[in-house]
Amino acid sequence: MNQRRLFRLLWLSIAAAIATISLKTAAWALTGSVGLLSDAAESVVNLVAALFALAALHWALKPADEEHAYGHAKAEYFSAGVEGALILVAAAAIAITAVDRLFHPQPIEDVGIGLAVSVVASLINLAAGFLLLRTGRAERSITLEADGKHLMTDVWTSVGVIIGVAAVAITGFDRLDALVALAVAANIVVAGSGLVRRSVGGLMDRGLGDSEQGQIDVVLSSFERDSGIHFHALRTRQAGSRAFISFHVLVPGDWSVQQGHDVAEEVEAALRERLPYATVFTHLEPIEDPRSFADLALERADVPEDGGKSSS
């Protein structure tokens, strides 16, 4: 992972947020549109979220230590969760303002200049969001990916606001401005909820996705077919940019320790080749021993010592 690049991109996100806040606030000041005000409010959230993401990524990239033997990668989930929560707060603030304007409509002014300024701000967000999203996925950084998704959501929000404000100017239906703002609030609620769900899933040690599980199955199946060994008790979990995989390797009991160790090393190497960001743990067991099947469950105490093979 190119750490310098990740931090540069987050500083880019901060700069983009400052620029878009200035531009969108100017557009609101020129027009008086509550739709453009809601768009500016979301950019304020972008700035706060980017600053928090910078701190979270700095913590997540710290190496493992005695108190955190598995590293600090889960700190990225806090960033994504906070960003999602901030989006929901922004949505509530936008909705309150929009409802008030719905009952007390006001005409908007200088639409052309205001929309032009808003378009420039949206293009800045589009460029920054695309770069953050692409790099976040490539580097498996949920912090960058969340920030990128937020910026891309902001772009689509801005497009809707621009169309809505233009429609107000054309039709003269002032309440449409408030309706557009409410639609913006609903849209970012969806985005914020998704980030919060993903953050909670990561903190709860959610397993790897179907694609990654499929790659693990391919590797293990090839060894079962070619080497005559077996595997069980496969468990996976995601921790920010890292993945953890553990399973038991069942080999003939008359193999030497060296033979079993060599095979386990080959399996681990094959998995790391497919998933280079994964840490792999294996446990070697003789396939003939019933006790090898006594720890399939997460809690060994829940399984009889003979692996449940004895008749009742």
H-helix segments, 172-244: 175-203, 210-227
Q: Does residue 282 lie in a domain region? A: yes
Report the domain count for the chain.
2
Q: What CATH number has the domain bearing residue 228? A: 3.30.70.1350
Non-local (6+) Cβ contacts of 79 within 8 A are: 49, 52, 53, 55, 56, 57, 60, 142, 143, 146
Q: What is the number of other CB atoms lying within 10 angstroms of the CB of residue 126?
A: 18
Q: Look at residue 281 in the predicted model and tell me its pLDDT.
A: 92
For the domain that residue 159 is a member of, what is the CATH number? 1.20.1510.10
pLDDT exceeds 70 at position 290:
yes
Q: What is the pLDDT of residue 300?
A: 55
Q: In terms of pLDDT, which residue wins out, 256 or 207? A: 256
Are residues 171 and 152 part of one domain?
yes
Say if residue 295 is in the same domain as residue 169. Answer: no
Give the model's pLDDT for residue 273. Answer: 93
Domain membership flag for residue 309: no
Nearest to 191 by CA among 241, 249, 129: 129
179, 203, 227 - which closes a domain = 203
Say if 117 falls within a structural domain.
yes
Q: Which residues of 4-14 are buried (b: 16+ CB within 10 A; e: fewer)?
A: eebeebbebbb
Tokens of 52: 């928090």
Q: Quick check: is 312 in a domain?
A: no
Average pLDDT over residues 31-41: 77
13 pLDDT more than 70: yes
- State which of 162, 182, 203 marks the end of a domain: 203
In a domain, 310, yes or no: no
d(CA 173, CA 137): 42
| For the ranges 17-21, 108-112, 178-182, 264-268, the one whose mean pLDDT is highest | 264-268
Q: Greater confidence, 284 or 295?
A: 284
Q: What is the mean pLDDT of the chain?
A: 80
Q: What is the pLDDT of residue 299?
A: 61
- Please check whether residues 267 and 289 belong to one and the same domain: yes
Same domain, 237 and 185: no
Angle at the Cα of 125 from the Cα atoms of 119 and 128, rounded to 5 degrees: 145
Percent pLDDT > 70 in the chain is 90
At 310, is the pLDDT very low, low, confident or very high (cuts 50, 70, 90)? very low
pLDDT score, position 186: 80
pLDDT single digits (tens) 64-94: 777 777 777 777 777 667 777 777 777 777 7
Whether 243 has a pLDDT exceeding 70, the answer reads: yes
DSSP 106: -
Tell me the pLDDT tens digit for each residue of 197-216. Answer: 767 776 777 788 888 999 99
* pTM of the entire predicted model: 0.59
Structural domain containing residue 188: 3-203
- Which residue would you say has higher pLDDT here, 298 or 223? 223
Tell whether 75 is covered by a domain: yes
CA distances (Å), 255 to each of 7, 261, 284, 294, in order?
49, 10, 11, 21
163 shares its domain with 48: yes
Contacts 24+ apart (CB under 8 A), 95-99: 95/181, 95/182, 95/185, 97/34, 97/37, 97/38, 97/181, 98/34, 98/38, 98/178, 98/179, 98/181, 98/182, 98/185, 99/178, 99/182
Task: Dump pLDDT digits (tens) for 97-148.
Answer: 778 777 877 777 777 887 888 889 889 989 988 898 888 887 777 777 777 8
User: Are residues 79 and 195 in contact, defined by beta-carbon separation less than 8 angstroms?
Assistant: no
pLDDT range class, residue 230, cuts 50, 70, 90: very high
According to the model, what pLDDT value does residue 101 have?
72
